[in-house]
Chain A
């Protein structure tokens, strides 16, 4: 097992290096940070533009490979991911956003998986019964309405409740507003902020896990080995829980593991509506601002998430499926 992980790890580092370098080179070719300065009014003098660009190592007058080499050595030797066109260090900006995103996304992801898989299993066992049809209808509804609309409805409902109660139970923007030292009050404050975006993200995630898990379980429920289990004397619902569920969790586990990266960078709309400075919004900002170093840094983080996800997927599948463990 140790050797397997080590080999995988080495493979992944190599893959990550190639992917991040490619992102850097592509971003350097396509993004034009000079235009940020040229469009300012009044336009700064050419020399100062060049000086700023060179300071951030994004001057298009320097050869690309030279910039790449500087960028790479800075990261490898000093763990310095460079500066944005505004001369802000990219790494610390990304780090704070990772923190915000983690707070926003973690609970929602866990809830989405647990609720989604549970509903999926519940409806699969009751295929075509009213419970399945009703929950399926809800799922389709939430699947088709855009995230922004869903989020706005949640916000409106929260404001309505706040008004009805006469005090502010739900916060509709940001993550924090408490500024004291009491950790309990800080936590309560965070919860008041988090609850709305968490509801939105949970619904979106749970709906897709519900629908896929239902399909996976329906596939394995009809398997011969479930019939064998019933022939042994297990009642239907136990036979499904014991024999069909585990095999049907394998594809879901792979989905979950691989979705880690998108979970961090994909919550753009929710972050925007609830005014949370997360990674998703930052990613969009870096692209709009021609922030080569920033965009590459986020791509690198997303790459790490994907590979960690892949590794987790391998481990989970090996744990669930002895056929893989043994061979």
Chain B
């Protein structure tokens, strides 16, 4: 069989002010019809540039060399006009951000029709029929009506379905999907991946799936190409790669991902250091500086991607690959895993620890107004509508939920330290409603925050010293004390104290997040609120920050309120979890209990949507894929908020269904696990790794 797409010795470079950026350096692969190739790598590894150069969509200042053959035709060197005959016809692409990928001023129908008209000779009626057929295929309800809708009337997941419909409109032979689900929530990600698989089945196309998420790769790919610093460093069939990685970088990646399906509290394996700059690459293997198995010969010449002895299907770019494969080295052998710090509060049972934060029935509603001159209220957005949880000293409580579930609003309400609109918030036993101005200022010290994006949360014009000194000065520390404290803080978060005079832009993303953590720790707070602290970081960097957070908690006994959407990170780091849906906590309790035996059907669906970085488990899994999208928070829902999408409700007799629709369930259950559901799942019915059909209690 001939490959549909064959890339040979692809080199891409860009001219930049700093010099020539060598973004891709020698990529080779063959894509067989109907197969899926996963390209994995961290940011800057050259995976997206590779895909864009195949499509010929790079900026004009890119220099592309090598060979890209689509069904035998050389694409490099073709003019824009010639290339456009292939784009959308024989090869198609799905992009990362569905919110910006569709033209806002044209209807969905027009945009689909455009794709059809460009490559096929159809009359209006045929175009319409085919469009309806395509929208139906990707699972958009009422396709005939939706053709007239505009992109802004669709949710993110729905728009990505439209993008897939456009991509498969002309039955392409190759579909390139560049991080197609990265911008989506997990339950929506599961839907979209299903649609993509279906589209592949229907068209028989080969797929190039570009992603940083090893779980997604494990679920969809047949073969995997791992990229590092613009070069492929390992290529293997998916099972082989996950079971027996041959190259130390791949091992490190696999060791750095927290597992959503395992409760054991193993330490994550961070890869030391940062990827090299693509402008100024070192001689030899680009991974050498971070590699635990580095030898002198690694630094003399860059290794080629060669077959590994004894594993005919695996290629690796490592001089020691044969040797490592023979010895069966895994990441546990290769990487040194530092012992976790001993916790000072380990011996104190939870019930005896001090409550640092208590939130009960918290409400935050926003009025929705209309009109310019005389505003009138047309509705209420119930962003937070009954959130209850507590945080005790030295523990990590996680708030999980999809976008729009009210996690961030909850955090902001707590951080305001003002009387809430409804419900009760108490910090360190002090009710916010009865707080005097001075007490409030004092409490600010005990409550600190770390934001998601370390690029924008640090003032770019302030050296690190000033960033760290600011909170201390506000709380009246003397200068010598401040200096000593900053030294201590830098060491605490694993940074060199001599670097305090540098600016944030001189640090990498992971280091910047460490600075943000140091700033939060500066005044010895009792509780730190972390809003998606690791979601902007690459896997290998993320592992280091997670380990740091765990150690800091153990040493200092500080409590964390951790907001994240990544369930694997949450299972790894938190001891208690509260699952949010549309402004309410639907389930809360001990993390292990919730993850192994979720009682609320939403929790179950959420957990089953998480892709596992294990191809064998992924294949055997049966998912609870939720229908539809999150309802609008403006909607008036008298009963259970989840009823409209609930798979359990659908199986109930009419009487019980009415109860779901009309009576709002409250959190009930034992102390370890509470669920707000009239018909909770039993302990045995379904956990994350359990693939049996759900049964009702």
| Chain A residue, CB-CB nearest to B55 | A231
Set B101, B102, B105, B114: member contacting A321, Cβ < 8 A: B105
With the chains together, A263 CA to B119 CA distance in Å? 47
Contact residues of A between 275 and 327, Cβ < 8 Å to B: 320-323, 326
The answer to whether B105 touches A320 (Cβ under 8 A) is: yes
User: C-beta contact mask, B97-123 vs A, less than 8 Å → 1, else 0?
Assistant: 100111111110000001100110000
Q: Which of A232, A236, A247 has the most CB of B within 10 A?
A: A232
Stretch at the interface among A72-80, A103-111, A219-227: A219-227
User: C-beta contact mask, B70-98 vs A, less than 8 Å → 1, else 0?
Assistant: 00000000001100111111001101010
Contact residues of A between 226 and 259, Cβ < 8 Å to B: 227-236, 242-243, 246-247
Known: A227-B57, A323-B152, A326-B150. A233 touches B85 (CB 8 A): yes
The answer to whether A228 touches B95 (Cβ under 8 A) is: yes
| Chain A residue, CB-CB nearest to B176 | A231
Q: Indicate if A39 sits at the interface (CB-CB under 8 A).
A: no
Give the residues in chain A near B86, CB-CB below 8 Å: 233
Total interface residues in chain B, CB < 8 Å: 34
Compute the total of residue contacts between A and B using a CB distance below 8 Å. Answer: 77
The answer to whether A231 touches B105 (Cβ under 8 A) is: no
Known: A225-B104, A323-B104, A323-B150. A232 touches B81 (CB 8 A): no
The answer to whether B57 touches A225 (Cβ under 8 A) is: no
Known: A11-B373, A234-B114, A235-B81. A247 touches B105 (CB 8 A): yes
- Minimum C-beta distance from B89 to chain A (A): 6
Q: Indicate if B541 sits at the interface (CB-CB under 8 A).
A: no
With the chains together, A322 CA to B166 CA distance in Å? 21
The answer to whether A243 touches B95 (Cβ under 8 A) is: no
Give the residues in chain A near B163, CB-CB below 8 Å: 228
Give the residues in chain A near B107, CB-CB below 8 Å: 322
Give the residues in chain B near A229, CB-CB below 8 Å: 103, 114
Set A223, A227, A228, A233: member contacting B89, Cβ < 8 A: A233
| Chain B residue, CB-CB nearest to A322 | B150
Q: Which of A228, A231, A246 has the most CB of B within 10 A?
A: A231
The answer to whether B103 touches A231 (Cβ under 8 A) is: no
Known: A230-B84, A234-B118, A321-B105. A223 touches B55 (CB 8 A): no
With the chains together, A246 CA to B105 CA distance in Å? 8
Q: Indicate if B153 sits at the interface (CB-CB under 8 A).
A: yes
Give the residues in chain B near A225, CB-CB below 8 Å: 100-104
- Minimum C-beta distance from B106 to chain A (A): 8
The answer to whether A321 touches B81 (Cβ under 8 A) is: no
User: C-beta contact mask, B328-363 vs A, less than 8 Å → 1, else 0?
Assistant: 000000000000000000000000000000000000
With the chains together, A224 CA to B57 CA distance in Å? 11
Known: A233-B85, A233-B87, A234-B118. A228 touches B80 (CB 8 A): no
With the chains together, A230 CA to B84 CA distance in Å? 7
The answer to whether B100 touches A232 (Cβ under 8 A) is: no
Set A230, A242, A247, A322: member contacting B57, Cβ < 8 A: A230
The answer to whether B95 touches A224 (Cβ under 8 A) is: yes
With the chains together, A322 CA to B110 CA distance in Å? 13
Give the residues in chain A near B85, CB-CB below 8 Å: 233
User: C-beta contact mask, B139-167 vs A, less than 8 Å → 1, else 0?
Assistant: 00000000000101100000000010011
The answer to whether A228 touches B150 (Cβ under 8 A) is: no
| Chain B residue, CB-CB nearest to A323 | B152
Known: A225-B104, A246-B105, A322-B107. A231 touches B88 (CB 8 A): yes
Give the residues in chain A near B88, CB-CB below 8 Å: 231-233
With the chains together, A17 CA to B373 CA distance in Å? 16
Q: Can you spell out 21 A-B residue pairs with CB atoms less than 8 angstroms apart?
A: A224-B97, A224-B100, A225-B100, A228-B101, A228-B103, A228-B166, A229-B114, A231-B57, A231-B87, A231-B93, A232-B88, A232-B114, A232-B115, A232-B118, A233-B86, A234-B114, A243-B103, A321-B105, A322-B107, A323-B104, A323-B150
- If A233-B88, A323-B105 are given as contacts, then 20 extra A-B residue pairs at C-beta distance below 8 Å, sorted by A number, are A224-B97, A225-B100, A225-B101, A225-B102, A225-B104, A228-B95, A228-B101, A229-B114, A231-B95, A232-B87, A233-B84, A233-B89, A234-B114, A234-B118, A235-B80, A246-B105, A247-B103, A321-B104, A323-B152, A326-B153
- The residues of A with any CB-CB pair to B shorter than 8 Å are 11, 223-225, 227-236, 242-243, 246-247, 320-323, 326
Closest 3 CB pairs of A and B: A233-B88, A232-B88, A224-B100
